[in-house]
Structure 1
Amino acid sequence: MHITDLSPFTPKLPYSSHCMAFDVSQYQDEDYAFFGQPFPSKLQRAVAKRKAEYLAGRVCASRAMKSCGIANFTLHSAEDRSPIWPENIRGTITHSKGIAMAMVSDSIDVLGIGIDIEHHMTEKQEQELRSQILRDDEHDAFELLRTYHQKPLTIVFSAKESIYKALYGQVQTFFGFDAAQLIKCDEYRLQFSLTKTLHDDLPKGTEITVYYQSVQNMVLTECVNLKR
């Protein structure tokens, strides 16, 4: 599989990250050995797209961790499919249509990181998925976001994915899009408020900041869960 170190984004969070483009059409199972990654047995029957995305994400994670002094670490997955990071590392992986990215931190103040890349939804998708992603009480903030970006639902969807990734390590249970309410935004940031208590240290009303940016037809969102 052809992989190109390429980052169309400039991450806002100050942590180690690595981004790359990859070509699914050139994927072969032998690529895992070529990039020094073990081929997971659970992907034996997966389609080439899934295998390529998994590999690209792991290569990004491996290269991001090198900046934290960690080399040759095999990043396995838990039963819930979340990556099992080294004990002193908090990290996150995302991929979307031929681009992958990972971000990691070894800071003791970081409880979790979440990043998410999404390609812009079509107008039809934005209309059909709005009720699944947005709460009724997010209307005003969402309309303000529309003044900053032509694909506001793509941004909110991506932001809520990043929030989930950033908080899951602490919460350790599934929570849906309705758990976070968009309350305000500007050209670079979204502010959310938790609508329910997810953890003793994440009570209802806790505010969560998500950074966002759009390049070409893609969106990157970033969120960090810091010790309180």
Structure 2
Amino acid sequence: MHIAPASPFTPQLPYVYRCMVFSPDIYQDADYAHFNQPLPDKLHRAVTKRKAEYLAGRVCAASALQPLGHTHFVVHSADDRAPIWPEGIRGSITHSKGVAMAVTTDQPDVLGIGIDIEHLMTDKQESELRGQILRDDETDAFTALGQDHEKPLTLVFSAKESIYKALYGVVSAFFGFDAAKLIAHDREHLQFILTTDLHPTLPTGTAITVHYQSTHDMVLTECVHLNTN
């Protein structure tokens, strides 16, 4: 499988990013050895697309760890599928239709970080998924977002994915899309508030900012959870 550096986005957070394009249609299991990555036992029976995405994400992660002094670290997955980073490192991995990205940081004030790339939903997908992604009380903010963006649901979905990744390390439990409510946006940021107590340090009403940007067919969202104490 071909994996090569790419730069469809300009990440906004000041951390180490690596983005690559890959070709899952020509994936082979031998590609894991070629890129010095182990093929996890749980993926042996996975479909080709899943194996290719996992490999591309781990290649990005390995590259993003090198500037932080981890030159041969393999990012395994925990039972909950969360990446296991080196001690003192926070990171996130995302992939979508032949594009993969990873971000890492060793800054001590970062409690968690989340990134998400999504290709734009079709009109049919937006119609079918809206009820699963949006809260009823997000209608006004979502309508306003739709006046500035052709595919607003893709943005909100991606943003809530990034929020989940950024907060999960502290929360250590599943929470759904309804835990975050879109309240406002500008040209580069989406503003959310938490609608439930996720953790003693993340009570209802906590403000969450998500950075976003888009190309003609994709969006990237970024969220960081900082220790403000």
Q: Fold match, TM over 0.5? A: yes
Quick check: 1:148–1:186 contact (8 Å CA) kept in 2?
no
Q: Separation in 2 of the partners of 1:76 and 1:4?
A: 22
2:89 is matched with 89
Shift of 1:128: 1.2
1:206 is matched with 206
Unpaired runs of at least 5, structure 1: none
Quick check: 1:191–1:208 contact (8 Å CA) kept in 2?
yes
* AA in 2 matched with 1:98: G
Cα shift readout 1:69-124 (whole Å, capped 9, x = no counterpart): 21100111100011110011000000001000000110000000000000000011
CA RMSD of aligned residues (A): 0.7
Shift of 1:174: 0.2
Q: Separation in 2 of the partners of 1:151 and 1:142?
A: 11
Q: Separation in 1 of the partners of 2:35 and 2:144?
A: 44
Q: Separation in 2 of the partners of 1:8 and 1:48?
A: 24
SS of 1:67 mapped into structure 2? helix
TM-score, normalising length: structure 2: 0.98
Q: Separation in 2 of the partners of 1:11 and 1:194?
A: 24
2:80 is matched with 80
Where in structure 2 are the equivalents of 1:43-122 lying within 5 Å? 43-122=43-122
TM-score, normalising length: structure 1: 0.99
Q: Separation in 2 of the partners of 1:74 and 1:154?
A: 31
Q: Separation in 1 of the partners of 2:143 and 2:184?
A: 10
SS of 1:144 mapped into structure 2? helix
1:154 is matched with 154
2:180 is matched with 180
1:38 is matched with 38
SS of 2:68 mapped into structure 1? coil
* AA in 2 matched with 1:210: V
Q: Which 10-residue stretch deviates more, 170-179 or 41-50?
A: 41-50
Cα shift readout 1:132-172 (whole Å, capped 9, x = no counterpart): 11111111111111122100000000000000000000000
Following TM superposition, the consecutive aligned residue runs of length 4 or more in structure 1 with deviations greater than 6 angstroms are none
- 1:131 matched to 2:164? The reply is no
Shift of 1:216: 2.1
Q: Tell me the matched-pair count.
A: 228
Unpaired runs of at least 5, structure 2: none
Quick check: 1:138–1:183 contact (8 Å CA) kept in 2?
yes
What fraction of aligned residue pairs are identical, expressed as a percent?
A: 67
